[in-house]
Amino acid sequence: MTINFAGKVAIVTGAGNGLGRSHALELAARGAKVVVNDLGGARDGSGGGSAAALEVVALIEANGGEAIAHGANVASFDEVEDMVKQALAKWGRVDILINNAGILRDKSFSKMALDDFRLVMDVHLMGSVNCCKAVWEIMKAQTYGRIVMTTSSSGMYGNFGQTNYGAAKMAVLGLMNTLVLEGAKYNIRINALAPTAGTRMTEDLMPPEVLAMLTPEAVTAGALTLCHDDAPNRMILCAGAGGFATTRLFETEGVYLAPADQTPENVLVHWAQINDLADQRELTEGLKQSEKFLGKAFNHLQSE
């Protein structure tokens, strides 16, 4: 099976450098028309400029592809909406959105200014929200859409000095989980990519020999797997240095405590059973947890 994107229109945010650049170039190489979005700022979000995005467009066009650049700040819905309108005016549809734009403002929580927390949340979380909102009705109307969120091991597992980044990267998974449910009947599939790559976001965190192994192209192979016609849905794909894995959230089977036994002391008494991994399972929506707990309660009533 060869994955191609002929006839598809893709928006890649933060596509002037690093992972976004790699995603945009490979989508175009496989036939997609690409909106190369990049604010052109530094990795902390300061500054701006169009040179990086225009260079990516030039590379795509030199290889016979079609692309346009747009400098929207993803944290501004008006700018994102203008970007989407330009894509529609030129190509008439939007099939793929890769939410890749991001910034870093790392500090320990004690030293972090709340403004730096808010800004990182605005770019990563609200940037993803704004872009999804701007394409959502288009994708519903055409009954086709593929959206990729960019999450991180820092969000799923934690990373010292990244409370802002980690919170934002975990939040986009919550966004994904509900959009999956709302988009299912419209053939809109939403997945998340958790990348490890050598980019300007990580260049001073790792030695050169390690960075050389963490190519953006390896991660891009995962990104494109998540947004083609036969893409999965609600998948968290981790990719880096040639390694690929998936992450899932599981819930243990747990226990039922009768009303008279619902005390913190009894919770501790049953802690080993509550934490028993033997019958854990993946829940596909929040209601499934309520159904499980209510089922235990009704079964207890019927057994009395």
Identity (one letter) of the amino acid at 19? L
Contact in structure between 4 and 26 (CB atoms under 8 Å): no
User: Which tokens in the block code for residue 224?
Assistant: 């494109």
d(CA 287, CA 51): 48
Cα of first residue to Cα of last residue in the chain, in angstroms, is 57
Residue bearing tokens 């490979």:
26
Helices (H), the chain: 18-29, 51-62, 77-91, 114-121, 127-141, 153-156, 163-183, 208-211, 216-225, 264-269, 271-274, 286-303
3-class SS of residue 141: helix
Closest CA to 227 of 89, 96, 121: 96
Please confirm, yes or no, whether 165 is among the known catalytic residues. Answer: yes
Looking at the DSSP bridge assignments, the partners of residue 192 are 149, 236
Looking at the DSSP bridge assignments, the partners of residue 33 are 9
Q: Count CB neighbours of 201 within 10 A.
A: 18
d(CA 300, CA 277): 22
Out of 157, 165, 186, 256, which one is annotated catalytic? 165
Phi, psi of 128 (to 5 degrees): -70, -40
Identity (one letter) of the amino acid at 159? N
Looking at the DSSP bridge assignments, the partners of residue 239 are 195, 244
Q: Which residues contact 292 (CB under 8 A, 6 or more apart)?
A: 251, 253, 254, 283
Q: Which residues contact 264 (CB under 8 A, 6 or more apart)?
A: none
d(CA 175, CA 53): 27
Instruction: Specify the DSSP class assigned to residue 151.
Output: -
Catalytic residues: 165
